[in-house]
Amino acid sequence: MKKIFYLLPALLLTACSKESTLDIAGMFSPQGPTVGTRFEQSKAYNDSVGEIHLDMGQDDYSIYVCTDSHITRKTHKNLDYFMAQYNAAAQPKLALHLGDVIDAQENIPCADSILHSGGIAVNCQPAAGQPALFITAGNHDIYFYQWDIWRSHFKTSSYWFDTNNGGKKLDLFVCVDSSDGEVGTKQTAWLKELLAKKSKEGYRHIIVFTHTHLWKLDASQGITSNMALETTYELTSLLGQYGVEGVWSGHQHARQLVNFKGVEYRVLNATKDKEKGQSYMIAEMGETIRYTYFDYPKE
Amino acid sequence: MLKKQLFLFLLTCPLTLFAATHQPGFGERRYSVTGMAEYSFNQTWGHHANFDVQALMPFNQHFEMEAKLQFSTANVHTGAVLLRPKFELPVGEMFVETDVLYKAVARNRMSDMTAALGVGYRMDYVSVTLGLFSRVFINWDRSIHTDETYVVEPFNLLYRLEVFCRPQNNPWNLSFMFSNVDDYQMERMWQPLFMVGAWYDATDHWRINLGVQCKPTGMFHLDASFYGATARAGFTYRF
């Protein structure tokens, strides 16, 4: 019984686990820069490279979306499958990964090579005809002080880009860094300013994507926390106020759909290998958005 | 299995640890009014101040009621009503808490309403409560008939463990609390609050209250970081 007293906190309160070790430090102190610093670093990078505009060549196109692949160097079958499907799909297309690309430390280079497979441009302006993928950081990506490594590969976790058809504006996509379950004062102010400006520019759809889900409807992911209540109030109000149509997120590994203040909050299943209910989503962008979910092949 | 063990741990540990230190009596529970002023900061609302008014109405030995109001410069205002039947036991006091909390988040034109049912046990040096609560978010700007008006978070765990330095009938005390609820918020189960409180009975009628609270985020399967803190001070008048 005495052992249980010591073991339980170690098991239950661990913020994230290394492949073969437990580390509860992240329960009490940040494992790297907090969201304010991460946002400043992302913004500095965005400012240095300029805006990203994707010319899709037509009004309708597909977005392949996955999340929580939690790959290790040994197991990344589902992410490989997702990338193969994306690479085989006809243009115009783009892909999103909503965070937690890796499970534990030392796997980011492996994730980088998988996401770049087929000459994909990741988190940057693609060349003409080059497929693009955009990614945001998840809690597993930044844990164990990995933010700097993640950033050296994927550059930014707070940014926006838009799509157009020969200069005609189509859709706006905003990526929000919520990898430690918080959005922060600076990023919230940036998001507000961006949406206030962009919502007047006549976009067809405005989509926000992030890692951590805003609602806690069930305990499908067990002891997984999400954002503070104040953040849920503020963000849902902000997103509703500026005509955001959809918020796509992951983190809880269970599909969910919530409508609130005119915004659809869509949480996706995980892409992690050997997990129950793995799937990815394809959003067919047109005058309306058509969503389809695809299961990964069973082992 | 692990959750069950944690439940048993939370339930039994304080009982076994503190049962032997019991000194009878929790002090007089009298009709009282409390006024508090709070300075608060969080990553979403920034710096703000809160003003609290509370009334305690112990109708008899077995039943008491509390009413609480909080006004905030963040334009978020909260009201709560708490009914507490209680039962004296040989060692301590068992109580049931029925708590309804309504938060008017006027700055975001929405409200957050929670209803909780908990069971607690109080001894001289420790008080522990476990329960469940449900939450509904209500949008003020949509027709009541659309599904975009409500979001329901049906089941949340409520937990509160408070440890006191002195018996609770002492004229001064210092307490440490770990909980996901306080007088004016019911956070999601994996969003704990850490509180330190103190009181001093200056006279038979007047009590001075002090407290600080810290709210981290991401403690469970995210990455912990500081989110907010509150410092409060006020007086209680006991009739």
Domains of chain B by start residue, with CATH: 2-238 (2.40.160.40)
Q: Tell me: the pLDDT tens digits for A54-101? A: 999 999 999 999 999 999 888 899 999 999 999 999 989 999 999 999
Which range of A82-91, B27-36, B134-143 scores highest in mean pLDDT? It is: A82-91
Strand, helix or coil for residue B100: strand
Rounded Cα gap, residues B209 and B237, in angstroms: 11
Please report which confidence band the pLDDT of residue A223 belongs to, taking 50, 70 and 90 as the band edges.
Answer: low
Contact predicate B228/B182, CB 8 Å: no
Is there a contact between B114 and B135 (Cβ–Cβ < 8 Å)? Answer: yes
pLDDT in tens, B35-90: 999 999 999 999 999 999 999 999 988 899 999 999 999 999 999 999 999 998 88
Residue with the larger pLDDT of the pair A5 and A71: A71
**Residue B148 and residue A261: Cβ atoms within 8 Å?**
yes
ipTM, 2 decimals?
A: 0.87
Strands (E) across chain B are located at: 32-42, 46-60, 63-72, 77-88, 93-105, 110-122, 126-139, 150-164, 172-179, 181-182, 185-186, 193-201, 206-217, 225-238
Give the pLDDT band of residue A52 (cuts 50, 70, 90): very high
User: Is pLDDT above 50 for B12?
Assistant: no
- CA-based nearest distance B62→chain A, Å: 34
pLDDT at A269: 94
According to the model, what pLDDT value does residue B128 have?
96
Q: Nearest by CB to A233, which of B5, B108, B148? A: B108
Nearest to A197 by CA among A178, A172, A221: A172
Selected for mutation to probe chain A from B1, B8, B17, B44 (highest A CB count within 10 Å) is: B44
Per-residue pLDDT tens for A15-51?
A: 444 444 456 777 777 778 899 999 999 999 999 999 9
Domains of chain A plus CATH, in order, are 1-30 (no CATH), 33-295 (3.60.21.10)
CB B134 within 8 A of CB B153: yes
Q: Which chain A residues are Cβ-neighbours of B50 within 8 angstroms?
A: none
User: Nearest C-alpha of chain A: how many angstroms from B119?
Assistant: 22
Q: What is the pLDDT of residue B28?
A: 61
Task: Please report which residue ranges of B58-178 form alpha helices under DSSP H.
Answer: none
Contact A32, A146 (CB under 8 A): yes
DSSP code for A102: B
Average pLDDT of the segment spanning A129-133: 93
Contact of B57 with B66, CB cutoff 8 Å: yes
Asked if A178 contacts A58 with a C-beta cutoff of 8 angstroms, the reply is no
Which helix (H) or strand (E) covers residue A64, if one does?
strand A61-66
CB atoms within 10 A of CB A221: 19
Q: Would the pLDDT of B7 be above 80?
A: no
pLDDT, tens only, A158-202: 999 999 999 899 999 999 999 988 999 999 999 999 999 999 999
Helix (H) or strand (E) holding A163: strand A159-165
Does residue B14 carry a pLDDT above 50?
no
